[in-house]
Structure 1
């Protein structure tokens, strides 16, 4: 299962957008006109957005930002980002508990592709930033009637760094975001150096499950591998057909015998997630070489795709995995 795949509620967004535009027309007045005048007079700059063929004009110094999709993870811990609203969805799994609490405390504008245009308009943003994945094929035309839209869409999970940096750029907080990047890079270098011998001798694999009766083997460039790879962990490059992950039946759990250590998703306490536990409860699991060698590690924050969650994942990997090998 690919987390980037979702169905587009075409008619739902269209109806909401139509209602939002009608409401806006009915309620506009002198105050609204003043706000529009202020917005139109603010300095702008060009931004190369993934949803448009030509660069879009966005504010140089946005003051009221609505973030949707994975753009939330890029900005939620940057105090300088003036967030007035966010969406929820698949990106929630990529936030720290503190970040998730902060995001849930902001005005909510929808979930995944079901963005409530009326709620966005009520927040009076001067910029909307989106990190919805390219595979979601979202139509931004209704949101563009509310405020300029800047999109940085990932085609695959390994592009999360580029997405984060482009969203920070659009939001005008590149300098603050750069401090997170520096901290992340320094911590990654520490782990690479301190555990160089273990890392050189170990081939890792990350797995996931979604409760559909299969399990997912993640190669380099997948959700569960990009941050561990920065810590020096080695993964197989890709599947035979070039994909970053494979959905496999339980009968093929013996594929894990090709690896020295297995990483799995876990809750905050380090317990395997329910879908992973269901896989572990199957007969073939107990016969696997990594299981018999006690080389299976359930790691909180595995699947991180932001610098803040990446830093927490580094700590978890050191404590739960690297120090044990």
Structure 2
């Protein structure tokens, strides 16, 4: 659902192509779920004498009292924005990650919202002018530093940030903040059904194939190999595939930065999945790897089994289903 993005959709993903995370990172699963899973409700009286329902939710900065049914939400992180849009909620303000980096499924609605941040540059006056009743985001470093000023404007709920956890923690946290867990449950069922349908239709094409997960890196002359616990790795695991040795050797939540000259590390992969821009072009200079003779001679390259996806760093269930679509498309029409 990456410029100096929304953390970096970590903190600043060092020039990557879509405002998402610097590393495979992803999600604040266990921690985020623990903090955001429960909320209690109460009623307070506003200045106009009318009763206003509120809820208490767990966040990265402790318990926060939020409106039971927020009407004017500002999102300061792309993952929160995409999750809100998935839930059918249109925020009045969003981060400016750049239209080129917004998934097409969200672009029209993203354009319609006021832009209140550009990376770590936060326009506090513009946010205040929007009169939000709730501000949501992810507790990446630059937003964590901004938390105090944001919470002075409106109740602010940030999902915990943990690079070693699952991508699904972010939509879970956002849904909890906005009282959208029922809508989230429907999205999760849709995702689970999509996984099951692809597993059934592709069968052994999935279970008998091995995959490596890569992205163009930001270390000069290097690319990154992602772990099985990365966002795409997590989705591939759900689909039932095996991991080739390069990806299998990377520790949970990590990436391995290796020279472009080491394309041979991918030699035992039946398929290689990588990050693309929204227009399908290779992202983050991974084309430098693809241009090498050693890469072109790999079994996956010779058999045209190099699969790109613009949803490489999913921040929402729709993004995750986009990855499934890419994987399914990559396997269709392949023999054996």
Q: TM class by shorter-chain length?
A: 0.7 to 0.9
User: Structure 1 residues 110, 36: CA separation in 2 closer, same or farther (over 3 Å shift)?
Assistant: farther
Partner of 1:68: 76
User: Structure 1 residues 112, 264: CA separation in 2 closer, same or farther (over 3 Å shift)?
Assistant: same
Structure 1 runs (4+) deviating above 4 angstroms are 38-41, 90-93, 134-137, 236-243
Residue 245 (str. 1) matches residue 260 (str. 2): no
Residue segments in structure 1 that go unaligned for 5+ positions in a row: 8-34
**What TM-score does the superposition give when structure 1 sets the normalisation length?**
0.79
User: Structure 1 residues 295, 319: CA separation in 2 closer, same or farther (over 3 Å shift)?
Assistant: closer
Alpha-carbon deviations, 1:211-252, whole Å to 9, x = none? 642101111122433333333333367645554321211132
Residue segments in structure 2 that go unaligned for 5+ positions in a row: 1-6, 14-44
Write the mapping of 1:1-325 to structure 2, written as runs, cut at 5 A. 3=8, 4-6=10-12, 37=47, 41-52=51-62, 55-69=63-77, 70-79=79-88, 81-89=89-97, 93=101, 95-133=102-140, 137-156=144-163, 158-210=165-217, 212-235=220-243, 239=249, 242-273=252-283, 275-324=285-334
Q: Which structure has the higher relative contact order (CA within 8 Å, separation 6+)? A: 2
SS in 2 for 1:57: strand
Report if aligned partners of 1:64, 1:84 keep a CA contact under 8 Å in 2: yes
Distance (Å, rounded) in 1 between the aligned partners of 2:222 and 2:103:
27
Using the TM superposition, give the Cα deviation of residue 47 of structure 1 relative to its aligned residue in structure 2, in angstroms. Answer: 0.7
User: Structure 1 residues 135, 222: CA separation in 2 closer, same or farther (over 3 Å shift)?
Assistant: farther
Q: State the number of aligned residues.
A: 293
User: Structure 1 residues 144, 259: CA separation in 2 closer, same or farther (over 3 Å shift)?
Assistant: same
Report if aligned partners of 1:191, 1:232 keep a CA contact under 8 Å in 2: no
Structure 1 or 2: larger helix share? Answer: 1
Report if aligned partners of 2:72, 2:133 keep a CA contact under 8 Å in 1: yes
Partner of 1:24: none
Using the TM superposition, give the Cα deviation of residue 165 of structure 1 relative to its aligned residue in structure 2, in angstroms. Answer: 1.3
Using the TM superposition, give the Cα deviation of residue 187 of structure 1 relative to its aligned residue in structure 2, in angstroms. Answer: 0.6
